[in-house]
Amino acid sequence: MFNRTKSIVIAMCFIPFLSAYGNEFFGELHDVENPGEVVLKLESGNLMRLKLLGPDFGKSREETCDTNRSNESACKLLREKLAGNQLGIIVEEVEGETMYGDIVVNRKALSLSLIREGYYQVDTDHNRSQALLEAEQEARCNYRGMWAKWRGNYEIAKSCAGW
């Protein structure tokens, strides 16, 4: 994992469009590259490529939107959630010209919403956020999205009994 403070300092030295807010930006959706990566148009007019942290996009993170039906529907979902909205952009990490972080839309973190609604699990290899883990448990215990097929499963019900 990257050191957040170090990453922001590096970004301030090399990225010309960093805002007065440090690692927070404002903008709108420009394009969805794949289910885990978007291009945003900042208020300054510059474009920023942002890889979303939090959800586990699996192999689809590396494949374009038109690769298969699953990616097409995932990209469509992102467009529906983001297009036409003023977005808050939070940069957590910087690697070269690629930013890693999250998007705030309608006062909600996108990654938290995607997980809470059951579209994705938490990417525990790269993120151990308690809020995201609780959102995944909430989705699982309420059989939302991808968890709906597990309704009635004893192991799921047992893990949610004390929730």
The pLDDT > 70 percentage for the chain reads 85
pLDDT score of 20: 42
Which pTM value belongs to this model?
0.80
**Range 141-161 average pLDDT:** 85
pLDDT score of 22: 61
- What φ, ψ does residue 90 adopt, rounded to 5°? -115, 115
Each residue's pLDDT tens digit, 65-103: 988 888 899 999 999 999 999 999 999 999 888 899 999
Each residue's pLDDT tens digit, 45-68: 999 999 999 999 887 777 899 888
| Pairing relationship of beta strands 87-95 and 108-109 according to DSSP bridges | unpaired
* Helix, strand, coil tally for the chain in percent (to 5): 40, 25, 35
Which amino acid is residue 90, in one-letter code?
A: I
Please say whether the beta carbons of 78 and 36 come within 8 A.
no
The count of other CB atoms within 10 Å of the CB of residue 7 is 19
Please say whether the beta carbons of 136 and 119 come within 8 A.
no
